[in-house]
Amino acid sequence: MSKKVLIVGGVAGGASAAARLRRLDEKAEIIMFERDEYISFANCGLPYYIGGSIQERQKLLVQTPEAMKSRFNIDVRVHSEVVSIEPARKIVTVNSKDKGTYEESYDALILSPGAKPIRPSLPGIDSPSIHTLRNVHDTDKVKAKVSEEGTRSVVVIGGGFIGVEMAENLKELGLDVTLVEAGPQILAPFDAEMAAVLTKELQSHGVNVILSDMVQGFEQDGSQVKVQLASGHALEAEMVLMAIGVTPDVSFLKESGLSFGPRGHILVDEQMKTSLQDIYAVGDAVEVVDFVNGQKTAIPLAGPANKQGRIAADNVCGLGTTYKGSQGTSIIKVFGLTGAATGNNEKTLKRLGLHYHAVNIHPSSHATYYPGANPMSLKLLFNDEGTVLGAQAVGVDGVDKRIDDIATVIRLRGTVTDLTELELSYAPPYSSAKDPVNMAGYSAENILTGLTEVFVPADLEGKSLQDIQLVDVRTPLEHSKGNIEGSVNIPVDELRDRMQELTLEQEVWVYCQVGLRGYTASRILKQHGFKVKNLTGGYKTYQMSQPLANTTAPVAAK
């Protein structure tokens, strides 16, 4: 007897589950329900269609019901919303545009309802000028608003991936764009100094960025909508885009008996099985394990959703495949820069009380003697055993492959020594003989083997210059153009001859521009009996760590 499998929701998780199921079982009856018109679309491409980088709307549609039927023999029912499930009877109730309300039985059920944009209960939130971005329908509305209606100004609320991508794309369309973020930084997967580089890139392209200010409400005034901020200031624009995060879209499951996590996500095991028999769940609506720290988390990314859909299908067919967790590898384009991250950041490690080390380096994207080399900033986090916990990078090019290299090492539970031993492709147009990934590994290994001790900019806070000797080992010209207050300038090439200017009784904290000369200075001093620390990432990291100012003051409320 053939198995009957129902799939609730398409896009990444549901569509990949459906295709995998058919490849595994030609005889299964597979029915997919999608409440909207589109079962599988490139939701990560929506901002780029609005901004015009993707010209043809049709290219956003990954699969159509007709294609799924002809190639995979899957019964796709669009405009069909599953409104409840009854696990005891093994049925779902469907509200269909064409068929009305009816019941459908199942042998196995895969839930892929996704997550919906958070729309807080604020005064004026129902204004027609306030938009969110989740699906093709939302995209069409925003696209029409910014093009056909000639909208000239927009306030984007939320500095996550969607908010930043939309700010960039709307600015490139010629709109006046203000981005409001309630927290002290944009892009939560990045640590503050790395996010600051991307914030400055937004600002340099004319995006007004307002940090540490929350929206209190909205007021429609003709064609304009006023955005009231907690600071007492107000902004006015023709359009508002809400992008403050997502929440699992699971209200139709609340009476089903399924188990949920503290933030409303469906609980699943490593085979994507829920707490109810023969019911699986995948994608943005499920709680998963953080691959690095082993804690429960939720990471709404397309890559993990696709993998989970495949694994759920495998287990419906008895293959016993397991999902070992998400590590949150992500990447974003911000005008001319790329930012990418994988694993845990410092904020997460501190919150969980996990001890770690951090190194910052600033290598070039490829050999500097070959034209077009660009600097990048790369941050590596690791523990006392050398296990790699996370990494972040920002730069013009070459960022993606470095983070992908490190993401692979994390997935294999690798160490910083593994980073030093990676044999990566090299030719002058593409890399250096010692790739930035190797260099990050060397820097980390130097700490673990005791060759050097490092400090980070935050360690300077509250530090008295009576306690330490702060030495800038750059050239006098570099020192004159900007330095850490209170530092004395002894260039590394003069250090051996001027060592008498320092005392053995106090720690010496050295820094250079990016950390390399500082490391050399620390080795010289340590071997002459000094207790010395080097600023990881040098003065460049120090500058990145300084507090950001908002681009412009908001328009004052009347």
> Under DSSP, is residue 497 helix (H, G, I), strand (E, B) or coil?
helix
AA identity, residue 189: P
Contact 390, 381 (CB under 8 A): yes
Which residues is 289 bridged to in the sheet? 296
Distance separating alpha carbons of residues 154 and 172, to the nearest angstrom: 12
Residues 6+ apart with CB under 8 A from 508: 468, 469, 471, 502, 525, 530, 531, 532, 533
Contact 195, 78 (CB under 8 A): no
Q: DSSP labels for 98-110? A: TTEEEEEE-SEEE
Which stretch of DSSP H or E encloses residue 61? strand 61-63
- Cα-based distances in Å from 155 to 160, 224, 231, 297, 351: 14, 11, 16, 30, 32
Residues 6+ apart with CB under 8 A from 255: 84
Which stretch of DSSP H or E encloses residue 248? strand 246-248
Contact 4, 106 (CB under 8 A): yes
AA identity, residue 433: A
Distance separating alpha carbons of residues 350 and 82, to the nearest angstrom: 41
Which residues is 377 bridged to in the sheet? 394
Instruction: Using DSSP bridges, classify how beta strands 532-535 and 507-511 pair: parallel, antiparallel or unpaired.
Output: parallel
Q: DSSP labels for 363-389? A: -BSS-TTSTT--BEEEEEEE-TT-BEE
Which residues is 117 bridged to in the sheet? 246
Distance separating alpha carbons of residues 395 and 378, to the nearest angstrom: 9
Positions marked catalytic: 44
Note the helical H segments in 147-268.
161-172, 192-204
Q: Which of 337, 361, 356 is nearest to 345 (CA)?
A: 356
Distance separating alpha carbons of residues 539 and 22, to the nearest angstrom: 57
Distance separating alpha carbons of residues 188 and 169, to the nearest angstrom: 20
CA dihedral 155, 161, 164, 166 (to 10 degrees): -70
Which residues is 260 bridged to in the sheet? 266
- The dihedral region occupied by 421, where left means phi > 0, alpha psi between -120 and 50, and beta the remainder, is alpha
DSSP code, position 326: B
